Structure 1
Amino acid sequence: MKYIIILLMLTFSATMNAQEVQKDGKTYEVKEDKIFLAGKDVTETLSIEETASILESARLINEKVVLKEAAEKLKKAKQKEIANAEKTKQKEADKVEKEAKKLVKDKKKAEKAQKRAEKALKKQQKAQDKFKKASKKLEDAQKKYKKLKRKGKLSPSDDLKWLEKLKDLKEDIEKAKSKL
């Protein structure tokens, strides 16, 4: 549709302009079905065959000009379309590249987050292990203290030492609990 409109506009503009036609060594100027020679209207003085021949020559010249202009317009339009297509392809390529960079960045963030989570998990596991170990030590020490006390093998100074030791073990448990 666009090309048809361009062609019609070119045809209209070409008919508005005068065409110069060479016939029998004379240069005639044709404007809208009137024939001029040296600026004077000679349409009535020419024979019907000469008038028809000159008008036909002017029409052919006009068509050539119109076709040439139309071809140039079409060529420019196609070049513009090709340029627009290339721009579009470049934009799409840039968009894809941008998305790829974003995906790489997101992947790195996810890997960092995973490493942090693993590190936190190891720290949690280590704290839990320390808590279990401290609990086990306290339990064993309490059993031994009770056993020694039952058998009466503790002197008053040894009793104080055992109580101090149990107190320290309870503090260790509290520290390990707070780290959990």
Structure 2
Amino acid sequence: MRINFLILLGLFSLQSALAQETVIDSVKVKQEKLVLEQQKAEKERIKAEEKIIKEQQKAEKERQKALKEAEKAKKDAEKAQKKAEKELKQAEKAVAQREKAKNNIEKAKSKIDSNKKDLEKDKEKFEKLRRKGKLTPEDELKWREKILKKENKALELQLDLEKAENKLRKLE
């Protein structure tokens, strides 16, 4: 019986040894899985936030770039407008100068005509008085000086007319 008892004891010990196999605690396993899932979710959330931040930064850079381009376009437009205004002023100034030159030509022509009429009138008067014999040598000298002055004045006016015409040609 002793052998039987020893056999039974051996079997019982064997069974006890085998029964003490490491049992995995299901609650602990679930907690570890939950922790792993939470860590994984946290990593994904962090990645998603980083991606959103990168996209926001990229969008901000593009917005800044667009603002700079818009500012540059605005400056270019202002520059072009100023240039156009300057050209317009120059064109208006050139037109005004041409008009002034034309008016100067007209004034010079009218002065020449007026001087010519006065000169002819004085010559006729001088000839008339001379034919009648009413002129003394002093009066005749005065009349000749007067006529000579008007002829010189006519030459000066002719020079002024030529200058005005040259100026008009230069402007055109």
TM-score w.r.t. the length of structure 2 is 0.63
Letter of the aligned partner of 1:97 in structure 2?
E
Larger radius of gyration: 2
Distance 2:57 2:85 in 1: 42
Distance 1:172 1:116 in 2: 26
Select the residue among 49, 52, 74 that pairs with 1:75. Answer: 49
Structure with bigger helix share is 2
Aligned-pair CA distance for 1:166:
1.9
Q: Alignment length, in residue pairs?
A: 134
Counterpart of 1:61 in structure 2 is 35
Shift of 1:81: 0.9
> Bigger relative contact order, structure 1 or 2, given CA contacts below 8 A and separation 6+?
2
> 2:64 matched to 1:90?
yes
Within the candidate set 62, 84, 91, 1:110 is matched to: 84
CA distance in 2, matches of 1:46, 1:85: 56
| Conserved? CA contact 2:112–2:157, under 8 Å | yes
1:161 pairs with one of 149, 166, 172: 149
- Show the counterpart of 1:142: 116
- Judge conservation of contact 2:101–2:164 (CA < 8 Å) in 1: yes
Q: Which deviates more, 127-136 or 80-89?
A: 80-89
* Structure 1 moving runs of 4+ over 6 Å: 51-54
Q: What is the distance in 2 between the residues matched to 1:67 and 1:159?
A: 117
Question: Who is 1:41 aligned against?
Answer: none
The alpha carbon displacement at 1:114 in A equals 2.1
Question: Structure 1 unaligned runs (5+)?
Answer: 1-44
Shift of 1:133: 0.6
Q: Which whole-Å deviations, capped at 9, do the CAs of 1:110-148 have from their partners, x for residues lacking one?
A: 222222222222222111111101011112322343455
Percent of aligned positions that are identical: 33
The code of the aligned residue for 2:62 comes to: T
Q: Tell me the equivalent position of 2:160.
A: 172
Pick one of 103, 107, 117 that aligns with 1:133. 107
Paired with 1:145 and 1:58, the residues of 2 have a C-alpha distance of 128
Quote the Cα distance in structure 2 between the aligned partners of 1:172 and 1:157: 22
Pairwise CA distance, 1:87: 1.7
Identify unmatched segments of 5+ residues in structure 2.
1-20, 131-142
Residue 171 of structure 1 and its aligned partner are, at CA, apart by 0.8
The CA RMSD over aligned residues, in Å, is: 2.8
Matches within 5 A, 1:22-37: none
Which residue of structure 1 aligns with residue 96 of structure 2?
A: 122
Matched AA of 2:167: K
